[in-house]
Amino acid sequence: MPVFVSEIVIDCADPERVATFWAEVLGWRAQREPEGYFWMSESGVDEENDLKLIFVPVPEPKTVKNRVHLDLSPRGADQEEELQRLLGLGARHADIGQEAGLLWHVLADPEGNEFCLLRTRRD
Amino acid sequence: MPVFVSEIVIDCADPERVATFWAEVLGWRAQREPEGYFWMSESGVDEENDLKLIFVPVPEPKTVKNRVHLDLSPRGADQEEELQRLLGLGARHADIGQEAGLLWHVLADPEGNEFCLLRTRRD
């Protein structure tokens, strides 16, 4: 196809704070650009085919549940251990009216952006 | 790292409509699950390491600019040709107060989810 998803962009009040959190979560390196935004990718170099996360400053605050969110999957690691690691990094549990007993955890980053921690797959 | 970004989840009023649009944009195949959501990935098979887009039904409407959005990059294709293709698939120009003269186009999908079409990279 002539287009591909190259970037996921997250609006921030404090891009450095949010980027620092996600860098620790993913083990990627947050890189500041002179324009005031931060980016990161798995390779850490600006390769076109490497999915980037971009953290941009915006004036407006977050007001509602995000309509687009990320799911994280443990890579071999235990879901419960990962939950504790993420909470230690500054994630918090988020109540978006979800049912009890889900197989995943609904969390939020330091600016309240919801994300889910899925169960560990064993396939 | 013990976690990775495995899914991008998009809340929808009509998951089939939104998934169909994105499937045409990306050349991926939208797959319906019995629970009422749709998913797609580049490989089209449920491989853990393959980034998925997930389209889930939610009761609440979209009310504000999305705080998380996707950027698309042309893969060799010309940006202007891609713009026309996306508009033909049902994308529309979105006004989020951006400056004139940007190097990218701000667009929205059939439910108003903002996304950007970046310029063609030549590196």
3.30.720, 3.90.930, 1.20.140, 1.10.3470: CATH of A68-123: 3.30.720
Does pLDDT of B101 surpass 90? no
Spell out which residues of chain A touch residue B6, defining contact as CB-CB under 8 Å.
71-73, 118
The predicted model scores a pTM of 0.96
Q: Provide the token pair at A43.
A: 């390779």
Mean pLDDT of B95-102: 89
Q: Where in the sequence of chain A do the CATH 3.10.180.10 domains occur?
A: 1-59
Q: Name chain B contacts of A82, Cβ cutoff 8 Å.
A: 2-3
Residue B123: what pLDDT?
59
Q: What is the pLDDT of residues B21-65, one digit of tens each?
A: 999 999 999 999 999 999 999 999 988 889 999 999 999 999 999
Minimal CA separation from A119 to chain B, in Å: 11
Q: Say if strands A3-12 and A105-108 run parallel, antiparallel, or are unpaired.
A: unpaired
Shortest CB distance from B26 goes to which of A4, A63, A116?
A4
Partner-chain residue, chosen from B26, B117, B123, that has the shortest CB–CB distance to A48: B123
Q: Judge residue A107's burial from the number of C-beta atoms within 10 Å of its C-beta, 0-12 exposed, 13-18 middle, 19 or more buried.
A: buried
CA distance to partner chain B, nearest, from residue A101 (Å) = 17
Chain A residues whose CB is inside 8 A of the B117 CB are 3
Task: Round to whole Å and give the CA distance between B58 and A83.
Answer: 25
Chain A residues touching residue B68 (CB < 8 angstroms): 8-11, 66-70, 113
Instruction: Answer yes or no: are the C-beta atoms of A69 and B9 closer than 8 Å.
Output: yes
Q: Do A8 and B68 touch (CB under 8 A)?
A: yes
Amino acid at B39: W
Q: What angle do CA A13, A14, A17 make, to 5 degrees?
A: 140
**Interface confidence: ipTM more than 0.90:** yes
d(CA B74, CA A110): 33
Give span(s): CATH 3.30.720, chain A: 68-123
The one-digit pLDDT tens for each residue of chain A (123 residues) are 789 999 999 999 999 999 999 999 999 999 999 999 999 999 999 888 899 999 999 999 999 999 999 999 999 889 999 999 999 999 999 999 888 889 999 999 999 999 999 998 876
Q: Which CATH architecture has domain A1-59?
A: Roll (3.10)
pLDDT tens digits for range A89-119:
999 999 998 888 899 999 999 999 999 999 9
